[in-house]
A and B are shown apart, each in its own frame.
Chain A
Amino acid sequence: MSTGPLVKTKPAEKADEFAPQEGLFSERNLRRASPYLFTLFLFVVWELGCLAFDVAEYVLPRPTQFFEILLTRAPDLWGHSVQTLYTTVLGFALGVVTGVIIGIAVGSSKLVYAAAYPLLVGFNSIPKVAIVPILVIWFGIGTVPAVITSLVISLFPVVANVATGLATTQAELEDILRALGASKWDTLVHVGLPSSLPYFFASLKISISLAFVGTVVSETIAANTGIGSMMIVASSNFDVPLVFAGLVILAVMGVALYAVFAVLEQRMTFWAQTRPDEMG
């Protein structure tokens, strides 16, 4: 009955021809509501579990406790959230721009690939938390090391995916252009870049989540504002509900930005989605 979630059809054309369309509890509405319902369900289980086993607040606070904190300390939390969001998005944006440039260089030249790729992999293997102290020596504490950490951490997925996208461009597509006398630049603009867009957008979803990791890691070590720094202070005060409130904020921001890029991906790469052949 249900169209499996893996079979993507073009919206509005063929979706659920056989499913009952009307009614509040139609299969489609249920599917749309399911992520919210499931999250709510988990919080309820958590709440009841803590109550049933009488878990202390400083070990594992109940959801109602930290949601209360979210409300009562909203103005204070808002400032930290904006700082973290700003740092993350800035670092991510710079990381994407740098990543695309490096990715194009690595993906379109075998020489650059051979020379630079091992170095990139090695650089990517360094835990980013290890570079924060160096950044602090250079730039002091605060926004700058956090932006750079999130830049550095969101860089690699973009580089790897753009390079892969370019390197795996269908040779036949390139032949068509080459036979017309297209230059390398023409081929890149008309075939290489468009055909690596699906890879690029896939990498954005990964990178934005990583950018949060970078920011928060840096904030916990070297900052006076931001969710990461707030959580460190709260945990040294044994204010565990506030720590969990910070986690909730990070999770919500992460999901929201992921969703933005997922929608963008859908819009930009509709032509690359798997779909049943529309004609024989």
Chain B
Amino acid sequence: MDAEAQSNSHLIDIDDVSLRYGVGEGSTLALAGTSFQVSEGEFISLVGPSGCGKSTIVKLVSGLMPVTGGRLTVDGQPVTGPLSIVGIAFQNPVMLPWLSTLDNVLLPLKIVRPHRDHFRQRKEEFRDRARALLKVVGLDGFEQKFPWQLSGGMRQRASLCRALIHEPRLLLLDEPFASLDAFTREELWGVLQDLWLEKKPTIIMITHELREAVYLSDKVYVMSARPGRILYERDVRFDRPRPLEITFDDAFVEVAQDLRQYIQLGRNETSAEAGP
């Protein structure tokens, strides 16, 4: 792991960030005083009880929502809106039902600058790139199928391809495998690890699966119950590429157990709603 070597060049700097949904009486504090940094090329996971504001972090970092307190910078700049260096995959792999799988994967290239400006001229090149990505995730032969002709796992694979097609420097994954069965999920862990090792984008993954977090990440952050903040961080230093069998090793289980304790702690913490 060379994360340390780059530690002074954080791609993402989250400093005492808070977020409140709504205003006045009915408002909820989703995040309170959350701080952490992510280096370029690092793969980190956020785990925690449901409703702890994990997904909120994705929305903040992607620029879909502004912070209501603290400082959030990506690549040295405060986040004020959506960023073109970001790719996102959500838990629910929403795809446009009127487009083929290939066209769904190509969608970001029609939107994101500078790609959209020469989409027509470089269409064939882009299509080849999309086909290559679909092949990596095992979807070759399904390019012309429509989303409703794919299974849930296949849609999630396609959604990963869509998040990666414009070669984002920062990939945000919001519980990407939560709706899949255990076997498909483990298979996609391998796919994601390969994709990451190849291009080395910075990845923030939200999950509530401890094995998933430990297997894939360089670092795992445990969050407390709402209002969310970082309770604990743990480096994971197994060699890459990690074989799936590693998840049964004592060292691996030890890390997962360690994290589990803190999640338990986060759940039990009766965090009084800090309302106004």
Contact = CB atoms under 8 A, between A and B. Distances in A.
Interface of A: 170, 172-173, 175-182, 186, 190-191, 194-195, 197, 271-272, 275, 277-280
B35 interface: no
Contacts, number: 65
Interface of B: 62-64, 81-84, 86, 88, 90, 92, 94, 96-98, 107-108, 110-113, 146, 148-151, 154, 162, 166
A181 B113 contact: yes
Contact of B94 (A172, A178, A181, A190): A172
Contacts of B63: 179
B80 to A, nearest CB: 12
Contacts of A170: 94
Nearest to B62: A179
B84 A279 contact: no
A181 B148 contact: no
Main secondary structure of the interface of B (DSSP, over half): loop
Given A190-B96, A271-B146, A272-B98, 4 more contacts: A179-B64, A180-B107, A182-B111, A190-B107
B149 A181 contact: no
Contact of A178 (B64, B108, B151): B64
Contacts of B92: 172
26 contacts: A170-B94, A172-B92, A172-B94, A175-B90, A176-B90, A176-B107, A179-B63, A179-B64, A180-B84, A180-B111, A180-B166, A181-B83, A181-B111, A181-B113, A182-B82, A182-B111, A190-B110, A191-B96, A194-B96, A194-B98, A195-B96, A271-B97, A272-B98, A278-B149, A279-B149, A280-B151
A14 to B, nearest CB: 13
A173 B94 CA distance: 6
A176 B112 CA distance: 12
Nearest to B98: A271
A165 B22 CA distance: 27
Contact of A180 (B94, B97, B112, B146): B112
**Which of A186, A275, A278: most chain B CB closer than 10 A?**
A278
A158 B82 CA distance: 34
B129 to A, nearest CB: 16
A181 B62 CA distance: 10
Contacts of B151: 279-280
